[in-house]
Amino acid sequence: MAPKLRDLIITYNNLANPDGSALFCQGNTIVQAYVFGPVDVSNSKERSEKASLFVTFKPKNSYEIRKELYENYIRTVLETIIHLDMHPRTSISVILQEMQDDGCLLSAAVNSACCALLDAGIPMKCMIASVTSCISVDAIQLDPNKEASQKSDGSIVLTFESSKNGIISVTSEGELTFDNIKEAIKLGCLASKEIYDFYHKSMKKRFLINS
């Protein structure tokens, strides 16, 4: 079964101040990511062997409670793939601003962080792609919108990396059976390849002489 992702659109470098910025749309879920770094850091926060990574997730409405959870997830994922030891005693800040939420917010945030890091030229080991699947009554749906995910029994967010197509991180909510998880991983693998293709195409456009 070929996975069907919603339309992906990306705009790079649309903010003047940050070193790298990307506006990522997955259907109607839109996240703006920007990256500052590597920059100076105060003595208390500096680490002598690697760069300190700060991730801030800013939800649309500032009183939301999910943000710590999302920040931790995204930070662990990014710490695996960024070459932090290339820039010791500096800090890299990644800020994600939620603009519109129509389901799969965490996946969209991870993908947009990856694109902003690409734009900033920060050395990474490989690319990452994140997909969400939701399960309702034994039917599994890839990349659900808000309505579908609210009606579902459970959902799982998988983050893949491009070098061996391995899974870096998993997080789930609700009830899932073992078969559901296997199915989700299969679908996710296929979907992540589409996402890598999309990154490739969008980057290529930036290097063309007439764009």
Partner 1 sequence: MLCLPGDTVTEDADYMRGHGTYYKSKVLTSSVAGCIDKVNKLLSVRPLRTRYNGEIGDIVVGRVIDVQTEHKRWRIDTSSRLDTILLLSSVNLPGGELRRKTVEDELMMKSFFKEGDLISAEVQSIFADGALSVHTRNLKYGKLGQGVLLRVSPSLVERRKTHFHNLPCGVHLILGNNGYIWISLPVSEGVESGGFAINLDPVPLADREVISRVRNCILALAKQKMMLHSTSINTCYEISQSYQVKDLIKSKIMTEIAQLTNEKMKIEELQ
Partner 2 sequence: MQRLKPKSIPSCNKNFIFTAVKDDKRIDGRSSKDFRKLSIGFGLDYGSSVVSLGDTRVMCNITYQIAEPKAVKSCEGLLNIRVDLTASMIHTYEKVVEIMRMIEKNVKDSRCLDLESLCIISGEKVYALETDIIVMNDDGNLPECCSIALLASLSHFKRPDVSVVEDKIKIHSFDERHPIPLNILHYPFCTSFTFFDNSKFVCDPTQAEEQVCDGYLIVGSNIYREITTIHISGKSAITKDVVLNCCQLAIERSKFLTNFVKLVVEQDLKKRSTEGAEIGYAPLIRESSSVLCSYKKEEIELQEVQENYDDDDVIIDLEVAQNTKMYRYASDTVGIGEGRGQNWDFIDEFQENVENDENEDMYIEDEETTNNEDEPDSKAKQFSKRSKNSNKYQEITVEDDLSEEEVQILNPPEFK
Using CB under 8 A as the binding rule, whether residue 126 contacts partner 2 is answered as no
Q: How far is the CB of 61 from partner 2 (least distance, A)?
A: 5
How many angstroms separate the CA atoms of 3 and 6, rounded?
10
Nearer to partner 1, 66 or 201 (CB): 201
The rounded distance, in Å, linking the Cα atoms of 157 and 104 is 8
Residue 13 binding partner 1, by CB under 8 A: yes
Task: Give the residue with the Cβ less far from partner 2, 159 or 202.
Answer: 202
Q: Which tokens go with 70? A: 């999302």
Q: Does 16 bind partner 1 (CB under 8 A)?
A: no
Give the CA dihedral 133, 201, 10, 161, nearest 10 degrees.
Answer: 40
The amino acid sitting at 72 is: N
- Binding window for partner 1 (CB under 8 A); candidates: 70-78, 100-108, 168-176, 198-206: 198-206
Q: Is 191 exposed, middle or buried (0-12, 13-18, 19+ CB in 10 A)?
A: buried
Among 3, 6, 8, 20, binds partner 1 (CB under 8 A): 20
CA distance to 23, 101, 126, per residue, from 64 (Å): 22, 13, 32
Taking CB under 8 A as the rule, does residue 11 contact partner 2?
yes
One residue of 125, 151, 166, 175 binding partner 1 per CB under 8 A: 125
Give bridge partners of residue 105 from the DSSP assignment.
none
161: partner contacted, choices partner 1, partner 2, none (Cβ within 5-8 A by kind): partner 1
# binding residues, partner 2 (CB under 8 A) = 34
Distance CA 85, CA 63 (A): 35
Element (H, E) at 186: helix 178-207
End-to-end CA distance of the chain: 35
Query: Within positions 63 to 92, which residues make up the interface with partner 1, using CB under 8 A?
Result: 81, 83, 87-90
Q: Is 44 in the site for partner 1 (CB under 8 A)?
A: no
The DSSP output letter for 6 is: P
Task: Say which entry of partner 2, partner 1, none residue 198 contacts (CB below 5 to 8 A, set by partner kind).
Answer: none
Residues that bind partner 2 (CB under 8 A): 7, 9, 11, 14-18, 23, 25, 27-28, 30, 32, 34, 36, 39-42, 54, 56, 58, 60-63, 91, 93, 95, 97, 99-100, 102
